[in-house]
Amino acid sequence: MEITKKMVEKTATKLSAEEILGGKVLSVKWEPKLKYAWDNGPAIGRYLAELKNGKIIAKKCDKCHRIMIPPRMFCELCWVPTGEWVYVKDTGIVNTWIVGYVDWKAKRLDIKGGVRPITPGIIEIDGASKGMGILHHLGEVDPWKIHRSMKVKAVWKPPEERTGSITDIKYFKPTK
Amino acid sequence: MRRVAIVGAGLTKFYRNTQETPKELAYEATKMALDSCEMKLSDIDCVVHGTAPDAFDGVHMKGEYLSDGSGAYRKPYMRHFVGGGTGVLSPIHGWFHVASGMFDTCLVVAEEKMSSAYPHPAGAFLTIFDHTTEQPLYPTLIYIFAIEMNRFMTTHGYRKEDIALVAVKNKKNAMDHPSAQLPAEITVQDVLNSEIMAWPVNRLDISPTSDGAACVVLAAEHVARRITEKPIWIDGCGWSLDTAYWTTRDLYYPDYLEVAARQAYKMAGIKEPSKEIHIAEPYDPFTYKELHHIEGLMLAPRGKSVQMLVDGHFNRNGNLPTSPSGGLLGVGNPIAAAGLMKVIELYLQLKGTAGKRQVPGNPTCGVANAWGDLMQVGTVVVLRS
C-alpha cells in the first residue's frame, strides 16, 4: 500500500514557535537546574594537574606503543593497563577545523558587527602518536587562512590564572 | 534464526513544530502501520521503540512515557537508543525479537519531538561531549560535523559546490514525499549562498529540526505470508561502535559504518554491494554525510563518490538511486523517526508502492544506514523483496 498525502495530512498539525511562545497555544515551561561534580579519575586528574603546570602529559601503551592523549588508564585497543607517563610538546598540527558562525546553542554570532567567528579544530599534538588529536580552539589567526597541517603552538594562561582545566590553554596559534 | 519480514508501515507528516504530543505522534504512525496490513493491536506480540535523547523532551525515561502511544499496553516492550543511529537500529531490535523465535509479530515504533527544547535543541547536545576535556570548550554537534566534512574534503580534494548537489537532489526527491517538511527545487548556488553556520557547512547543507513518528510491523515468515503476497525481508543487520575518543580517529572515513555494513552484507550473502544493491538510503543529516556513507557502505570507492554524484549515478533514475525518499535533507530529521523513514522508503520501493517516487527497474535489494552517538555508531539493514 502506498503512503499517500491524504493519509499523512491529518497525522500532525503544524505550529509556529510564535504561536507557542506567544501563548496562542498553551504550553508549560520548565528550566532544569542540575548540578554535578564529575570525578576525573587518575589519568585525566594528572592531565589536568600538568596543564596547571603548563605541560601536556600523555600515557603510553606498552603493547601497541601508542602514546595517547588525553591519557587513559587502559588501552581501548589492546585492552591492557597503560604504562609510563610521557610528556608531549605543546605544539602540533591542524588535522581539521571549522569557521563557526553560530555558538553552541546555535545562536548566530554578530559576524557583520565584527565578532570573530569561533574556530575550533582538532590539533594533532607533537610527541603523541600520529593522528592523536585533541579538540581545542585556534586563535591569533585569520579564520580564513587556517589550513590543514598548519603548525600551531599552545597559548597558555598566566600561571596564576590556571585552574587545572583544558582552558588553561587559551587556544593554539600558528607558529612562524 | 527465523526469517523476518516487514509487512506494514506508517509515517506521520514531519513539521518543525507539531501541536501533537510525542505520544500522539507515535499513535498516528502506529495506527497507520497496523491499518496498512489490516492487523489489530491484539495481533501484536511485542513492541520495540526507538527514540533519541531524553533531553529533547525534558522527559526522563521517555521510552516509558511513549509506550502507550506505541501500542505497548501490557505487552513486552523495550526502548533502544543510539543517538542518530537509533532509527535504523529500530528494525534490527525488532528483528531480534522475531528472528529468535520468541515472538511472531513485533511493532517497531520510532518517534522524535525536537521542538520542545528552547532556544534550540542543539543546546541539548553539549553534554554528549567529555565533561572535562571538551565541554569547557563549548563544542556543539554542528561544529564536529563541519570538522568531519572538512577532513573529508581536504583528504579527497572534494569541492563544496559538488557536495552541494546532494541537497539539490534530495530536496527535489522530497517534492514527491507526502510527509516532507522541506521539499524544494534549489540550485547549487542557493546552497553556497545560504547562511554560513559553521564553514564548510551552510544552512542548506543541514537537515532541519523536526517532529514526527514512523512505524513498521514485523512478522515471522509463516505469519508474513498470511498477511501479504509480498513481504519485504530483513535479510541483513549490522551495527558497530567506534571509539568515543573521536578526536583520535581519522574522520575522513566512516570505519564504524564499514564494520556494520560488512556484518549486514555477510548475513545477506552480498559479496559485491555496488552491483547487488539496487537502491540505498544512506543517512544524510548533512550533504557530505550522504557521500561519506556511500563510501562507508562500499557503494563507491573511497574518494570517488563525488564524481559519481556529479555524473548522476545517484539520481532517482541513475544506476544506484540514493535517498529516493528525499532523505533527511528533504523529508526532515525527527532523529529516530527519520532513520525509520529511510527503512520505510526501501520497503515501499521494493514493494513497488512508492508512487511518484518509485525508482525504475523493479529493485529487489536495498540498504539503509543511520549514524549517531559521538559520530561513532553505524546501524545498517539490508532489505529484499
- What number is the average pLDDT over the span B338-359? 98
- Does A21 reside within a domain? no
For A10-29, write each residue's pLDDT tens digit.
999 999 888 888 888 888 88
Q: Do B140 and A103 touch (CB under 8 A)?
A: yes
Structural domain for B17, as ranges: 4-118+208-384
Residues of chain B contacting residue A96, judged by C-beta atoms under 8 Å apart: 147-148, 150-151, 154, 251
Query: What are the tens digits of pLDDT across the range B210-253?
Result: 999 999 999 999 999 999 999 999 999 999 999 999 999 999 99
Task: Tell me whether residue A93 is in a domain.
Answer: yes
Q: How far apart are CA B346 and CA B327, in angstroms?
A: 12
The pLDDT of residue B236 is 98
Q: What is the pLDDT of residues B284-331, one digit of tens each?
A: 999 999 999 999 999 999 999 999 999 999 999 999 999 999 999 999
Classify residue B251: in a domain, yes or no. yes
Whether residue A86 lies inside any domain: the answer is: yes
Whether the predicted pLDDT of B126 surpasses 90: no
Range of the domain at A167: 39-174
CA B57 to chain centre: 20
Interchain CB contact of B127 with A (< 8 Å)? no
A73 contact partners, CB below 8 Å, separation of at least 6: A41, A42, A43, A59, A81, A82
Q: What is the mean pLDDT of chain B?
A: 96
Does residue B113 lie in a domain region?
Answer: yes
pLDDT above 80 (res A176): no
Chain A closest-CA separation from residue B210 CA (Å) = 11
Provide the 3-class DSSP secondary structure of residue B45. coil
Structural domain tally of chain A?
1
Number of cross-chain residue pairs from A and B with Cβ atoms under 8 Å apart: 179
Distance of alpha carbon A62 from alpha carbon A78, whole angstroms: 9
Residue B85 has pLDDT above 90, yes or no: yes
Return the percent helix, strand and coil in chain B, to nearest 5: 45, 20, 35
At residue A151, the pLDDT reads 98
> Is A117 contained in some domain?
yes
Q: What pLDDT is stored for residue A109 in this prediction?
A: 96
**Is A34 contained in some domain?**
no
**Would you give the distance in Å from CA B38 to the centre of its chain?**
26
Cα–Cα distance between B101 and B119 in angstroms, integer? 46
Helices B165-173, B287-296: axis angle to 10 degrees equals: 90
Q: Does A78 touch chain B (CB under 8 A)?
A: no
Quote the pLDDT of residue B40: 97
Pairing of strands A120-125, A133-137: antiparallel
Among partner residues A36, A98, A133, which is closest to B146 by beta-carbon distance?
A: A98
Residue B156 touches chain A, beta carbons under 8 Å: no
Task: Please identify among residues 26-55 of chain A the ones whose CB lies closer than 8 Å to any CB of chain B.
Answer: 30, 32, 36, 38, 40, 44, 47-48
> Which one of B247, B325, B349 makes the best mutation probe of the A interface by having the most chain A beta carbons within 10 Å?
B247
DSSP characters over chain A = ----HHHHHTT--B--HHHHHTTSS---------------HHHHHHHHHHHHTT-EEEEE-TTT--EESS--SB-TTT-SB---EEEE-SEEEEEEE-EESB-TT-PBP-TTTTPPPB-EEEEEEBTBPTT-EEEEEB-SS-GGG--TT-EEEEEEPPGGG--SSGGGEEEEEE--
B197 at interface of A, judged by CB pairs closer than 8 A: yes
pLDDT single digits (tens) B12-60: 999 999 999 999 999 999 999 999 999 999 999 999 999 988 888 888 8
Joined grid coordinates for residue B134:
571538551
Angstrom distances, CA of residue A158 to CA of A125, A139, A168, A169, B7: 21, 16, 8, 10, 65
- Domain for residue A12, yes or no? no
Q: Please report the pLDDT score of residue B214 as a whole number.
A: 98
Q: Is residue A5 part of a domain?
A: no
| CATH number of the domain to which B289 belongs | 3.40.47.10
The minimal CB distance from A98 to the residues B29, B147, B248 is found for B147
Residue A17 resides in a domain? no
Lowest mean pLDDT among A103-112, A149-158, B223-232, B270-279: A103-112
Whole-number percent of chain A with pLDDT over 70: 100
| pLDDT at site A159 | 97
d(CA B88, CA B83): 11
Query: Is B73 in CB contact (< 8 Å) with chain A?
Result: no
Per cent of chain B over pLDDT 70 is: 100
Q: What is the pLDDT of residues A53-91, one digit of tens each?
A: 999 999 999 999 999 999 999 999 999 999 999 999 999
Q: Is A127 on the interface with B (CB under 8 A)?
A: no
Q: How confident is the model at residue B196 (pLDDT cuts 50, 70, 90)?
A: very high
Q: CA-CA distance, B50 to B71, in Å (whole number)?
A: 14
**pLDDT score of A16:** 87
Instruction: Look at residue B180 and tell me if it is in a domain.
Output: no
Q: State the Cα–Cα distance between residues B341 and B380, nearest whole angstrom.
A: 14
Determine the Cα–Cα distance for residues B90 and B92; give it in Å rounded to an integer: 5
Closest CB from A19, A44, A98 relative to B199: A98
Nearest by CB to B20, from A4, A12, A148: name it: A12
pLDDT of B88 reads 98
ipTM over 0.85: yes
Closest Cβ opposite residue A38 in set B122, B132, B196 = B132
The model's pTM: 0.96
Assess contact for A62 and A103: CB atoms under 8 A.
no
As for how many domains chain B has, the answer is 1
B243 and B376 in contact (C-beta within 8 Å)?
yes
Q: Which of A72, A101, A166 sits opposite B196 (nearest CB)?
A: A101
Order of strands across the sheet with A151-156? A133-137, A120-125, A91-97, A151-156, A169-174
Angle at B133 between CA B128 and CA B136, to 5 degrees: 75
**A142 shares contact with chain B (CB less than 8 Å):** no
